[in-house]
């Protein structure tokens, strides 16, 4: 990683935009989001094109190894990660207690505790103290286990027994199998796989940055991921797919779109599923997921498309000069609903994909020995002048 930051370091705080918007904090070879162009990529490949042409394991391999696998490499990687899906006995035994304790908070809250236990029971050591191969092995173990953890926590919360993972199913199909107890049809498995691929990574979002800050301290992989999950759980980050679908429910029908949206916009409310802090054009993930939804068809899809059309027109009228389009959450909720995922599993499903991107960022950050330590500008009461100590 570049040492340019060291050259510009200063003892005096530097004013930056709120939320660090647009501030470059490091170099990365993992990918980028080009908001003005409506484009994002993993390594040197369009993320959307990868979602349309590759399987989840191939893209996972790309993030870990820096190149797409050939057929032999891809098969070996898929077999290796499939073998890591089963949980240690200590973790399996604790899941009913975790599920009961988290209750209405849901699987994502339970995942934080389960990840800590998984790291401890697996003997994860600080990334500062281990080599690149061990770091990579730790991330693969966690990424393979997260879908198992999430589906088990969900099922236990519903009074159902967890479903053991299968080694013979691809990553996305196995996830749906563990969630529902039935092997999914190919169309729904592929739709969920494309969604998972499209959300693996997305620049220096809040959860990714959180993971990297923790990694910069040298902490273990599980600790880094617990922090990332905490950041993702916020409704302004990963918590919006189900809320976007709730908006469709609240509107109810095409004849209520205009009045419902106008009332909310004029009241200053945010319309979930619209707008993005980076994109100033259509979110490419939303465009792809809209296409997937239209392949399924049906009343929900028709209604969502009409809501999108009218909301964008109303926002253009009431907020002129601002580019507000659907973001990934809007059609993600539609696609997951069509594929039979319960709404309380929308954000956990996001996490099941994003853990791969977080892990790639942890591995990259672990190569940089510099801890991330920004400054804050003090704006509180003026402290008294320090009194020199007596000689």
In the chain, domain spans: 46-235+343-365, 241-338
C-alpha to C-alpha distance for 79 and 167, rounded to whole angstroms: 7
Residue 85 φ/ψ, nearest 5 degrees: -75, -25
pLDDT (0 to 100) of residue 5: 42
Residue 13 has pLDDT above 90, yes or no: no
Query: What homologous superfamily is domain 46-235+343-365 in, according to CATH?
Result: Citrate Synthase, domain 1 (1.10.580.10)
Among 276, 308, 325, 364, the active-site one is: 276
Tokens of 158: 């519903």
Tell me which DSSP letter residue 36 carries: T
Between residues 274 and 340, the one the model is more confident about: 340
Query: Distance of CA 202 to CAs 98, 360, 388, Å?
Result: 30, 12, 51
Is there a catalytic annotation at residue 90? no
Q: Are strands 39-42 and 45-46 parallel, antiparallel or unpaired?
A: antiparallel
Q: Is 65 a catalytic residue?
A: no
In contact, 328 and 284? CB cutoff 8 Å: no
Identified catalytic residue from 57, 329, 337, 364: 329
CA-based R_g, the chain, Å: 22
Residue 240 pLDDT:
60
Residue that wins the pLDDT comparison between 340 and 3: 340
In this predicted model, what pLDDT tens digit does every residue of 109-128 receive, in sequence order? 999 999 999 999 999 999 99
The yes or no reply on domain 241-338 and CATH 1.10.10.10 is: no
Contact between 157 and 143 (Cβ < 8 Å) = no
Cα 75 from Cα 194, distance rounded (Å): 19
Distances (CA, A) of 97 to 1, 100, 102, 220, 221: 42, 5, 9, 24, 23
- Strands (DSSP E) found in 316-359: none
> 61-85 pLDDT, tens per residue?
999 999 999 999 999 999 999 999 9
Classify residue 342 as exposed, middle or buried by CB count within 10 Å of its CB (0-12, 13-18, 19+): middle
């Amino acid at each position: 990683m570049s040492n340019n930051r060291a050259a510009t370091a200063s003892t005096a705080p530097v004013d930056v935009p709120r939320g660090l918007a647009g501030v470059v904090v490091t170099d990365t070879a993992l990918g980028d989001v080009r908001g003005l162009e409506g484009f994002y990529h993993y390594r040197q490949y369009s993320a959307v094109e990868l979602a349309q042409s590759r399987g989840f394991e191939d893209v996972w391999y790309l993030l870990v190894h820096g190149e797409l696998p050939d057929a032999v490499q891809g098969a070996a990687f898929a077999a290796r990660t499939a073998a890591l899906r089963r949980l240690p006995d200590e973790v399996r035994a604790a899941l009913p207690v975790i599920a009961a304790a988290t209750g209405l908070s849901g699987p994502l809250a339970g995942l934080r505790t389960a990840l800590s236990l998984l790291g401890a029971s697996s003997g994860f050591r600080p990334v500062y103290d281990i080599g690149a191969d061990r770091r990579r092995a730790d991330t693969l173990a966690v990424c393979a286990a997260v879908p198992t953890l999430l589906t088990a926590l969900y099922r236990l919360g519903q009074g159902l027994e967890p479903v053991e993972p299968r080694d013979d199913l691809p990553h996305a199909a196995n996830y749906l199998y563990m969630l529902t107890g039935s092997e999914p049809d190919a169309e729904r498995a592929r739709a969920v796989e494309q969604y998972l691929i499209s959300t693996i990574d997305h620049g220096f979002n809040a959860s990714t940055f959180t993971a990297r800050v923790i990694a910069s301290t040298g902490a273990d992989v599980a600790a880094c991921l617990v922090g990332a999950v905490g950041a993702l759980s916020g409704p302004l980050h990963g918590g919006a797919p189900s809320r976007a679908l709730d908006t469709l429910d609240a509107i109810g029908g095409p004849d209520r779109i205009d009045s419902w949206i106008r009332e909310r916009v004029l009241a200053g409310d945010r319309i979930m599923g619209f707008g993005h802090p980076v994109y100033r054009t259509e979110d490419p993930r939303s465009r792809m997921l809209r296409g997937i939804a239209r392949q399924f068809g049906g009343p929900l899809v028709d209604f969502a498309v009409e809501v999108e059309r009218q909301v964008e027109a109303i926002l253009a009228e009431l907020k002129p000069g601002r580019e507000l389009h659907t973001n990934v959450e809007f059609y993600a909720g539609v696609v997951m609903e069509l594929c039979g995922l319960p709404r309380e599993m929308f954000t956990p499903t996001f996490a099941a994909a994003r853990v791969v991107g977080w892990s790639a960022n942890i591995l990259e950050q672990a190569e940089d020995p510099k801890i991330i330590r920004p400054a804050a500008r003090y704006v509180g009461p003026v402290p008294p002048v320090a009194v020199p100590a007596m000689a």
